[in-house]
Structure 1
Amino acid sequence: MSGKQIEIYEFGEFRLDVGEHRLDRLTGDSDGSLPEKAFQTLVTLLRNSGTLLTKEQLLTTIWPDTVVEENNLGKAVHAIRNFLGPGSQGIIQTVPKHGYRFVGDVRKIEINEDSRGTSASASNPSRPFPNSPAYDLYVRGKVKAGSENIEDTENAIKVLEAAIAIDPFFAPAYAQLARAFNTRAFKFSAGPLRKLLHENAEVAVEKALALDPDLAEGHFARGLILWTNTKGFPHEQAIRAYKRSLSLDPNSDETHHQLSMVYAHIGLLEGAHDEIGRALELNPNNTMARFRIGVYFAYQAKFDEAMAVFKTIPQDVSPMLVSRSTAELLIQTGHLSD
């Protein structure tokens, strides 16, 4: 069984136990309980004590994949202040037009009760040690899931399922499995099989985030699943998922790349260029991100620049997609014989 991470915060006359979902007075007196979203808001503020969290950051964290009004956040903060009472009103600072900051003194207590002693780590019990069999399979599966051809995708599913069979508490393996299922469904299947694979992807990503709510790979996989025809391409939810992933891992070139594609789809080309530029800055060898630059040039009727980019893409990199885009560009520029 996986080691249990105990995360407790003490501030003022209160103690908050994240795992037990309790907020109690140190005196032992009870004032009832906080509403769920108010509790999550307080946990997020405590984890980032002293740091200004914007309204967008809090909305993305507390209401992932859901579009809600800002006043829901205000109601959550109001509920926290009411629960804490008059003596604690100043510990959550409102920064007008920006967000909130927890400014009280906080004592964080972390205890790792590792009952397995094999794959749990002190910092995150859902991640095996790098020399474990599950971790080795996870890395192999992650590489194959990223290549996005049918053979590698099917192999990714097999090795990631094997990793989870060894360690059913390994959150990143579930996240990569969700990605592989989603790729298999979106690019290489149709009909009932596509529906089943999408369901498998959604189950896997929910398991990943249940094990580790702050797993960047999990939120990235959720964004991929949302941005499909099966889900109806809900751009606001997909953007929230990718931004949440980037808040946890800002150096993921693939997440910047995928966010760029969503921006481009809804006509935000400036944002799309910014994100794809960041992706290439982080990883100049991201060939598909470079290809995307050509696509954006074509959107802007900069056909010569687009063709120059397409010619730099190796023939073995997503040949169908690159060939189709090149053909469309030749048609647009009147080079039908080419």
Structure 2
Amino acid sequence: MLRRTVFDSLSFAFLFCSLTVALFVTNEEQLLNLGMDLVFVVLFLAVGAGVATLLRKIQVQTLGGVLFGAHQTSDTNSWYRSFWGWQLVVLLVVSMAVAFVKTDFSLIELLDQNGFAGAVRLFKGLFNPNWEVLPRAVLNIIETVFMAFLATMIAIPFAFVLSFACAKNIMRGPVAYPVYLVLRTVLNVTRSIEALIWAIIFSVWVGIGPFAGMLALMIHSVASLAKQYSEMVEAVEDGPIEAIESTGAGKVQTVWYAIVPQVVLPYISFTVYRWDINVRMATVIGMVGGGGIGTMLIQYQGQAMWREVGCIIVVIAIVVWALDLASAHIREALK
């Protein structure tokens, strides 16, 4: 019930806010008053909550009710004859309209002759690589692969331990549950900060180079793996847990003998996939001083040396394809 009300309140508030901005805001300068913006946000949320509550009381099936299974009605009409169907359509249309406006979408600029000619020159360089930089590109891609590998290996033990402390079915009780909430919050915040930002932070902290990139990938990997691992822990069967607990085993023994055997293979599969992700991310964070082939790429790109960029892209594509293929086979073998 709560999730339905929250979802509907937010969706209606978004619709009312978008409509108000479209009708009454003529330039972005009007939105720079933070205090007034906050007042309007609270007002829109209150109106949205009021509408959602009213619809729930008169037993109208909303999109929130359909998504979260709350307050099912006997209405058998097609979706386009129902309130929730039109709510979904309007929400998507308004979201698309806002997206077009905020991204300055323009077919005119996309089809502009001068811009298209510049893109043609760029692609000519990319498809005619300068193979003289290949040895250096190979050395840098090796550095990138091992940077991702080390980041993943260091992240595994931290994520493994944290995964059990972030699983709701384990962290029960007046002391354990607050710890669970704090850890979940910290990991969610850490994961919400992109590895690119972490690379900038560590580039300032330890200096530009692969060490900064490795630390950025490691921090992000710990948060991501801990979340994936904990979700696997929460999905384990209760039978083995109850059997081990019935023998008088403690919390640690229960985790080790009842839960770990159920999650070890999915853990390995997620870890291999994470290394695959880290290799691809490493090529990006190198652009902000994280070392590896990304740094080399941004140097040539900044000088518009597109033939050299083409060679680097070929090397990246081959390595990423090979690692993706290898990780897919490994994950398949673990199933």
Same fold (TM over 0.5): no
> For the pair shown, which has the larger CA radius of gyration, 1 or 2?
2
- Higher RCO structure (Cα 8 Å, ≥6 apart): 2
- The structure in which a higher percent of residues are helix is 2
Query: What TM-score do the two structures reach when normalised by structure 2?
Result: 0.25
Which has more strand, going by share of residues?
A: 1
